[in-house]
Amino acid sequence: MNTKLIIFDMDGTLYEYEGASFRQSGAYQEILKNATLFIAKKLGKTLAESEIVLKGIQERWGEQISLALEKEFQISREEYFNTVWDIPAEKYIKPNVELKPFLEKLKQKYQLAVLTDAPIVWVKNVLTALGVEQVFDDNIFDGTGNARKGNGAAFERVLSKFQLEPKECVMVGDQDNIDIEPAHLMGLFTVYINKNGQKSRQANFSIKSIFELPNVLEIKHEEILKRYFEAHRIAGTEIKALSGSSAAKTFLCDNNIYKVGSEAVIQKEIQAYGKFNARMKSYETVFPQMEIVFEDLGNSVLAIENLGKQSLEPIYRDDQLTMSRLETLNKKVLAKINLLFDETKTNIKDDLFFDELVSALKINLEKAGLSEKLSDDLKRIIEKKESILKNFVPSLAHKDLSLGNIILSDDGDKVRFIDPRVAVPYLPESKASGNVAIDLIGYRISVERKELEVRKININVDYSSLFAEIENQIKGYICAGVFTEDFKKLCEVLWYSVYSACKCDYCTASERLWLYNEMVRRLENVMEHGS
Ligand SMILES: [Mg+2]
């Protein structure tokens, strides 16, 4: 995670309410009282009449009283805010002496901002009562204008001021619907605060107080694993990091494999496996067993069945390996793909997967900087939807079946698929099941890439027998009406686009630039001629 900016909601985040929510707090009761007085004075009404007016406004406009007064009674919202919201915050807020040094410490590492829908007069009073008015400098975004958090506009305002990408920002807030959901949708990292320990379904992390923030900003994966060993009195284990993103890391400890990450990330992982588990009777022969063994500070440790130490990826680099061995492994992988299809296929008509592939393709082309160049080809694919889906049998799919995601036991006997995806890369969410073509082609192109790489070292390497076997399977599916030749091409386009869009260190290393360029070349070629 490359966090540059932390955005804090104010009420309920920088301090705790005395009630369950701001609407139930003493401060808000005083604001409502002031609003009644204000309306009475401005409209020349008695207090009783004014209360009725206010109630009507709340029924029609919810909490947007200022907006209602402006639209219905032409009363400026500045006047409303400055009169009604100018209440002594210190009466309702208990300052925490640790807040200022805590924020100042964070500020040494990150830029900090406050983002609230509340009016500036209240924001100033609160920050002063908390003693942190200096900490945020000019980075205070209040509800004066029309940008609100709920529809994302307020977040856009902050991002554009700082000139940052969503993924470089963290949003911290206590309201799921206005702090977490819209920020999450825009791609910000989100941290939900709830003093009662309630959890958000969307946030990357849920914590009880702002002071737990450092624990989740930088997950010390190894520390969490050590705490698990301590708690279970497991001694003398050597921890070896295997791989992983910043969100989850995989470790080999003696003979066990652990994946460590935030609860949300690990839950997502389990869900991705879970949908296969629910549908497949041979699940255990296709995917490894796993279980959460430890939870700590919003992080989880997932123990994963250890089949062996290797994925197929380095095996293909092993020059001791004979072609007949690779052919055997290839057959095993194809058999598992077939099993996956066979046990999860449905006859429910479903064209959602096509739409999702096209959406992913658009995202990938954008990332690869090729959207404009290939826009006509993309249009052609979309127009052919009906004929592409002429024959189509949906089934669950792994959706990222590269050699790195296929592991095998040390004796080479068992083959398992790991890290299934909810959606094809880089589509954020998915509702569709899938189709076996996406895995067959994903696997084939991963082998293609490997052949290109290995040939750099040994020009005599030739995987054509592997490709012939894969093509043979593909033909069988096409003949059986599981997918069409054109859908196969769409999957090819998708996978080449994934490799063209990937900007990870491996794909963009200068010594491998030729491979990246080759993927782009193949993408353009298939888009232009194939589909
Ligand atoms: Mg709040």
Give the domain CATH number at 82.
1.10.150
How many angstroms separate the CA atoms of 433 and 224, rounded? 34
CA of 306 to the centre of ligand 1 (A): 44
CA of 15 to the centre of ligand 1 (A): 9
What single-letter amino acid sits at 394? P
Together in a domain, 41 and 156: no
CA of 36 to the centre of ligand 1 (A): 24
Q: What is the pLDDT of residue 506?
A: 80
Together in a domain, 492 and 411: yes
Range of weakest confidence among 156-160, 317-321, 358-362, 464-468: 317-321
pTM score over 0.75: no
Cα–Cα distance list, 211 to 23, 196, 443, 513 (Å): 24, 14, 45, 44
Confidence of residue 530 (pLDDT cuts 50, 70, 90): low
CA of 21 to the centre of ligand 1 (A): 8
Confidence of residue 1 (pLDDT cuts 50, 70, 90): low
pLDDT per position as a tens digit, 277-326: 999 999 999 999 999 999 887 789 999 988 876 788 888 877 777 899 99
Together in a domain, 422 and 325: yes
pLDDT per position as a tens digit, 499-516: 999 887 788 888 889 999
Give the domain CATH number at 246.
3.30.200.20
Q: Which structural domain range is residue 207 located in? A: 5-21+92-217
CA of 117 to the centre of ligand 1 (A): 9
Q: What is the pLDDT of residue 106?
A: 94
Together in a domain, 379 and 506: yes
Give the domain CATH number at 434.
3.90.1200
Together in a domain, 320 and 341: yes
Average pLDDT over residues 258-287: 91
Q: Is the pLDDT of residue 246 over 90?
A: no
How many angstroms separate the CA atoms of 101 and 134, rounded? 12
CA of 2 to the centre of ligand 1 (A): 25
| Structural domain count, the chain | 4
Average pLDDT over residues 16-33: 85
Say how many CA atoms lie within 13 Å of 358 toward its Cβ: 18
Angle (nearest 5°) at CA 428 between 337 and 392 = 40
pLDDT per position as a tens digit, 410-455: 888 899 999 899 899 999 889 999 999 999 999 999 999 999 999 9
- Residue 211 is given by DSSP the state G
Together in a domain, 68 and 117: no
Structural contact between residues 442 and 400, judged by C-beta atoms closer than 8 angstroms: yes
Structural contact between residues 224 and 296, judged by C-beta atoms closer than 8 angstroms: yes
Q: Is the pLDDT of residue 269 over 90?
A: no
